[in-house]
Amino acid sequence: MSYIEKKIDSEEKYRGVIVNVRLDHAELCDGSVVKREVVEHPGGATILPIDDEGYCYCVRQFRYPFQKELLEVPAGKLEYGEDPYECAVRELSEETGFTADEIISLGEDYSSPGFSTETLHIYLARGLHRGKSHLDEGEFLSVEKHHIDELTQLVMDGKIADGKTIIAVLKAKRLLESEK
């Protein structure tokens, strides 16, 4: 049986700087018609920089919707037509000042597939070279150094709640363990 939903029509409800919102009518596999609210997002890339001793460089920044600071992996929104790999490289440099000899894809994450088109591309950066960060206008953050084992424990203890960071840390930890 196929569970494909066929879009009947679509109406843009909001056009913003980061997201657009539309209301679709869709036909379900049983023939019934439902409304689907869709948040269109260009997607993004996130990158976990890790040095030869297993230390990772994360960023702490205030997240307005939650009204608190979060510890996260460096990340950013894709620019129109931008390759996710290039976005990850850009964000690594902008937020931490690092460049890397090796960048490994750790896969993708559909952040909220029930209503959003956002896809996050997740990377691991190794062979780090320190440079100077150059934050976007209106961006304020600090870079923190944590061992991968400590980050993994923070994830497992529920002290890191950001989904992209959880995925990046656990996938990186698994990859590093498989290389031993």
Mean of all residue pLDDT scores within the chain: 96
Whether residue 136 is predicted with pLDDT greater than 80 in this model: the reply is no
Instruction: Considering the candidates 102, 137, 177, 179, report the single residue annotated as catalytic.
Output: 137
Q: What is the CATH number of domain 44-178?
A: 3.90.79.10
Structure tokens at 134: 């150059």
Question: Is a pLDDT exceeding 80 seen at residue 84?
Answer: yes
CA distance 8 to 13: 16
Residues of the chain with CATH 3.90.79.10: 44-178
The region that residue 72 occupies, defined by phi over 0 for left and psi between -120 and 50 for alpha, beta otherwise, is beta
| pTM recorded for the entire structure | 0.93
Give the whole-angstrom CA distance, residue 121 versus residue 85. Answer: 8
What does the buried/exposed string (b/e) look like for 126-143 if buried means 16 or more CB atoms within 10 Å of the residue's CB?
Answer: bebeeeebeeeeeeebee
> Would residue 137 show up in a list of annotated catalytic residues for this protein?
yes
Cβ neighbours, 10 Å, residue 175:
13
The average pLDDT across 86-112 equals 97
51 secondary structure, DSSP code: -
13, pLDDT greater than 90: yes
